[in-house]
């Protein structure tokens, strides 16, 4: 039996597989718990004789980008993906259209990163949104910029983004192993032929570097089920507790009567312990138990580490008008509808569904004639339009988050290379790391930038 280092794809076609029980020279790790120094094939496993420069676990944007970059540098790369196809989560991004980046610069992305922006500084400056745009357009996928700088494929098909990434990797000779769920990554002892053994059901792979790019834990049916974190943990890494992010929020207040109501061009102040921490402008939609939509999703990413009892969301329904200007406007409406009941005088000001809710909350009798409303009552009403408060009671479950906050602790990863500080040769990229960003294409950009950095750093010392 002879073995080779897989440097070029032609060689991979020479893969030799051996049944469990045979001896081989790859490494001296005792995986089956009973073997000798030279026996590293666990019982019931087949072994490929190739030793890859890089084995990538997970074929999302991070893993595919890393694989393509490493292969372009002449490295022998294998991608192991649990699903029968690559980029299953990418297919559902941006409602199937994939908002793959934002038309901004590296700092513009970092400004929208919630967890550990400093850690991402190098990765985003080395591969910025402009590089993402060039990468896809130069490979035949035209892009368009939409509202808020969101960048989508002109075709409006997320599957085209995956195809470009996959074809780029394939062109470089990357070997794909689909339906290959990785269950273990083990380091070999010094002097062994390969540094790592990567185990999947019924099969094992040998590698000098391994990239864990297994994503987060949300929308687990896409394959990103958190199993990658167990691999990292078994190799000695800390995990920052995973939390839902970019997820709907439930409120203490009964929002059933408002369900389905969309509010546009409103301002949301996020208050923690009565202090304004952030303001977000945009749109939201009420659900039966709370709210969702862009500003609520963003708010969830900011409040998911706080005690919700100390948190309030304060909506300004008329952010274009100061309190005084809005009061003047309300006065004009009240003059116009002076003989109407209060509840019937608000149609010019508010969406129909919101009127009974606001009337009940402000405490003015709904059938009070407008011309009998006192100045203080009117000002309370104006105040409510500027400061409509909701108390979050619960965030949506982790499976329903657009992203997962938390993950592999950034303190244990070198930001210049994405290499583990604990296990040399082990790398991390994308959402499996404790990084997350707001909506706008920033999360895919993070996956691409960190993947690009791995692909261009890995193997420098091979
Ligand atoms: C509904 C939805 C919409 C979104 N829309 C956008 C958007 O428009 N713009 C944006 O920027 N972000 C969006 N995101 C977030 C974005 O999709 C992710 O941040 C991004 O895909 C992360 O890339 P990744 O490569 O790190 O991980 P993933 O894309 O999650 O890929 C990880 C891969 O690893 C595989 N895997 C996991 N464990 C194993 C294992 N043990 N063995 C083998 N393979 C394994 C998985 O099957 C998966 O294919 C959206 C997310 C969701 C859920």
Task: Please give the distance, rounded to the nearest whole angstrom, from the Cα atom of residue 216 to the centre of ligand 1.
Answer: 7
Q: Tokens for 309, please give them.
A: 């009892």
> Containing H/E element for 281?
strand 275-286
What gap in Å lies between CA 181 and CA 200, rounded to an integer? 5
pLDDT value at position 75? 97
What's the CA gap between 457 and 190, in Å, rounded? 22
Ligand 1 in reach of 59 Cβ (< 6 A): yes
The predicted structure's pLDDT at residue 37: 26
Residue 23 C-alpha to ligand 1 middle, in angstroms? 38
The pLDDT tens digits for 351-406 are 999 999 999 999 999 999 999 999 999 999 999 999 999 999 999 999 999 999 99
Q: Angle 323-336/375-386 helices, nearest 10 degrees?
A: 120
**Closest CA to ligand 1's atom 52:** 402
Instruction: Determine the pLDDT at residue 194.
Output: 82
Does an H or E element contain 185, and which? Answer: strand 182-187
20 pLDDT more than 50: no
C-alpha 248 to ligand 1 mean position (Å): 19
When pLDDT is cut at 50, 70 and 90, the band that residue 49 belongs to is low
Residue among 56, 60, 129, 203 whose CB has most ligand 1 atoms within 8 A, to mutate: 60
Over residues 2-22, the mean pLDDT reads 31
What is the predicted pLDDT for the residue at 192? Answer: 79
Name residue, tokens 């408060």: 389
pLDDT band with cut points at 50, 70 and 90 for residue 183: very high
Could you give all domains of the chain from N- to C-terminal order, each with its CATH number? 4-243+407-457 (3.50.50.60), 248-396 (no CATH)
Cβ of 404 closer than 6 Å to ligand 1, yes or no, is no
**Which pLDDT belongs to residue 189?**
82
Measured CA to CA, the distance from residue 214 to residue 202 in angstroms comes to 20
Q: Which of 7-11, 71-75, 241-245 has the lowest mean pLDDT?
A: 7-11
Two tokens at 136?
A: 């896809």
Beta pairing, strands 101-102 & 150-153 = antiparallel
Closest-CA residue to 285 (of 265, 258, 305): 258
Calculate mean pLDDT across residues 69-79: 97
* Residue from 292, 282, 267 nearest 386 by CA: 267
Rounded CA-CA distance 343/358 in Å is 9
Take residue 303 and report the two structure tokens written for it.
């409040």
Q: Find the radius of gyration of the CA atoms of the chain.
A: 27
H or E, element range at 168: helix 158-171
Cβ proximity of 56 and 77 under 8 Å: yes
Residue 242: which of 215, 221, 222, 223 has the closest Cα?
A: 215
| Per-residue pLDDT band at 24 (split at 50, 70, 90) | very low
Expressed in angstroms and rounded, the spacing between residue 396 Cα and the centre of ligand 1 is 18
Question: For position 48, what pLDDT does the model report?
Answer: 54
Average pLDDT, whole number, for the chain? 90
**What is the DSSP code (8-state) at residue 231?**
H
Residue-wise pLDDT for 131-144, tens only, equals 999 999 999 999 99
Q: Where are the beta strands (DSSP E) in 299-425?
A: 311-316, 388-390, 392-395, 403-408, 413-414, 419-420
Give the global pTM: 0.88
In tens, the pLDDT along 388-401 reads: 999 999 999 999 99
Contact indicator for 370, 346 with CB cutoff of 8 Å:
no
Q: What pLDDT is recorded for position 39?
A: 32
Nearest to 460 by CA among 399, 423, 419, 410: 419
């Amino acid at each position: 039996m002879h073995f080779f280092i897989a440097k070029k794809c032609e060689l991979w076609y020479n893969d030799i597989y051996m049944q469990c029980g045979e001896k081989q020279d790859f490494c001296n790790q005792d995986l089956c718990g009973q073997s000798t120094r030279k026996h590293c094939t666990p019982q019931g496993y087949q072994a490929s004789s190739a030793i890859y420069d890089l084995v990538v676990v997970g074929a999302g944007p991070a893993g595919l980008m890393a694989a393509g970059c490493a292969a372009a540098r002449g490295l022998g790369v294998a991608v192991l993906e649990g699903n029968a196809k690559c980029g299953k989560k990418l297919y559902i991004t941006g409602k199937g259209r994939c908002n793959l980046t934002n038309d901004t610069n590296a700092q513009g992305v970092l400004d929208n990163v919630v967890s550990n922006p400093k850690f991402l500084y190098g990765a985003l400056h080395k591969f910025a949104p402009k590089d993402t745009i060039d990468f896809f357009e130069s490979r035949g996928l035209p892009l368009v910029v939409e509202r808020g700088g969101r960048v989508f494929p002109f075709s409006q098909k997320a599957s085209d983004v995956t195809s470009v990434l996959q074809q780029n990797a394939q062109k470089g000779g990357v070997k794909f192993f689909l339906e290959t769920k990785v269950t273990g990554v083990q380091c070999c002892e010094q002097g062994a032929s390969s540094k790592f053994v990567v185990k999947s059901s019924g099969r094992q792979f040998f590698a000098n570097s391994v990239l864990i790019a297994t994503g987060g834990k949300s929308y687990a049916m896409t394959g990103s089920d958190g199993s990658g974190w167990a691999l990292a943990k078994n190799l000695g890494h800390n995990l920052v507790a995973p939390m839902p992010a970019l997820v709907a929020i439930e409120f203490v207040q009964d929002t059933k009567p408002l369900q389905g109501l969309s509010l546009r061009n409103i301002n949301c102040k996020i208050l923690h312990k009565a202090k304004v921490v952030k303001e977000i402008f945009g749109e939201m939609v009420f659900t039966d138990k709370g709210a969702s939509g862009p500003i609520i999703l963003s708010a969830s990413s900011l409040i998911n580490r706080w005690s919700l009892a100390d948190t309030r969301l304060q909506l300004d329904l008329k952010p274009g008008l100061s309190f005084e200007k809005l009061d003047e406007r309300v006065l004009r409406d009240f003059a116009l509808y002076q003989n109407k009941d209060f509840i019937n005088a608000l149609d010019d000001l508010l969406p129909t569904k919101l009127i009974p809710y606001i009337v009940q909350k402000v405490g003015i009798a709904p059938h009070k004639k407008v011309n009998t409303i006192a100045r203080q009552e009117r000002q309370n009403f104006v105040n409510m339009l500027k400061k409509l408060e909701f108390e979050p009671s619960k965030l949506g479950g982790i499976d329903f988050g657009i992203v997962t906050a938390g993950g592999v602790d950034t303190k244990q990863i070198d930001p210049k290379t994405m290499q583990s500080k604990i296990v040399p040769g082990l790398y991390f990229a994308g959402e499996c790391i404790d990084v997350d960003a707001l909506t706008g294409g920033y999360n895919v950009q993070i996956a691409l930038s960190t993947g690009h950095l791995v692909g261009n750093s890995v193997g420098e010392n091979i």
